[in-house]
Amino acid sequence: MLDWINIISAWAVPMMIAFIPLYAFMKKVPVYESFVDGAKDGFSTAIGIIPHLVGMMVAISVFRASGALEFFTGWMGPLLKMLHVPPEVMPLGILRPLTGTGSLAFTTDLIKTYGPDSMIGRIASTVQGSTDTTLYVLTVYFGAIGIRNGRYALKVGLFSDAVGFVAAIAVCLLIFG
């Protein structure tokens, strides 16, 4: 099963890179011009995201560097101990929706400290792999099209992050416990 999945994931992108131009060529599309024409949009889209991402990164960076993040995660520790959640993984729950690179660094550190096959290592890996960086996704997607009012999108994202975090811990305790 796993081999099968690995093969698909290794071949998916190369297949697309070969198939799309070939198919387009057979459909009599001027492939190179079409590519360049579309690619132009990519540049302006990326540039358009800069203000949104800089704004968000500044806020997250200040929040983290000041020690506020540590304070809130430490404060929640005792409550989690009651629920059999290893307190070591707690910061990840808060870090994950805020910063992808930050939480990846934290996960790597947990894996290094406690070992990849420890319960903490497995929970951290599952949490890191199972939700996306909500604030980043929101900033990039809405930033790219100039949406100012995201309605309930952030609430839904954060809610699913919380569910994903709890689910990851429960599933790991169940499977590897």
Partner 1 sequence: MVNKIWLGLIIIGFAFAAVKGDINLVTQAAFEGAATGVTVCFGLISVLVFWMGMMRMAEDAGLVKAISKLLGPVVTYLFPDVPKNHPAMGYILSNMSANLLGLGNAATPMGIKAMQELQELNPDKETASAAMCTLLALNTASITLIPTTLIAIRLNFGSANAADIVGSTLLATAIATAAAIAADRWYRHRTFRRTPNPPAPASAITMKR
What residues numbered 58-87 form the site for partner 1, per CB under 8 A? 58-68, 71
User: In this chain, which stretch among 76-84, 86-94, 107-115 interacts with partner 1, using CB under 8 A?
Assistant: 107-115
The answer for residues whose C-beta is within 8 angstroms of residue 104's C-beta and 6 or more apart is 128
How many C-alpha atoms does 73 have within 13 Å on its Cβ side?
Answer: 18
Q: Which residues from 4-43 bind partner 1, rule CB under 8 A?
A: 5-6, 8-9, 12-13, 16-17, 20-21, 23-24, 27, 29, 31, 34-43
The pair of structure tokens assigned to 2 is: 């796993």
Asked if residue 162 lies in contact with residue 128, where contact means CB atoms within 8 angstroms, the answer is no
Which CB, 17 or 79, lies closer to partner 1? 17
Least distance from partner 1 to the Cβ atom of residue 76, Å: 15
The verdict on 160 binding partner 1 (CB under 8 A) reads yes
Q: Which one among 75, 77, 79, 163 touches partner 1, defined by CB under 8 A?
A: 163
**Tokens 């999945």, residue?**
5
Asked if residue 60 lies in contact with residue 135, where contact means CB atoms within 8 angstroms, the answer is yes
How many CB atoms lie under 10 A from the CB of residue 26?
9
Q: Which residues from 128-157 bind partner 1, rule CB under 8 A?
A: 128-132, 134-135, 137-138, 140-142, 144-157
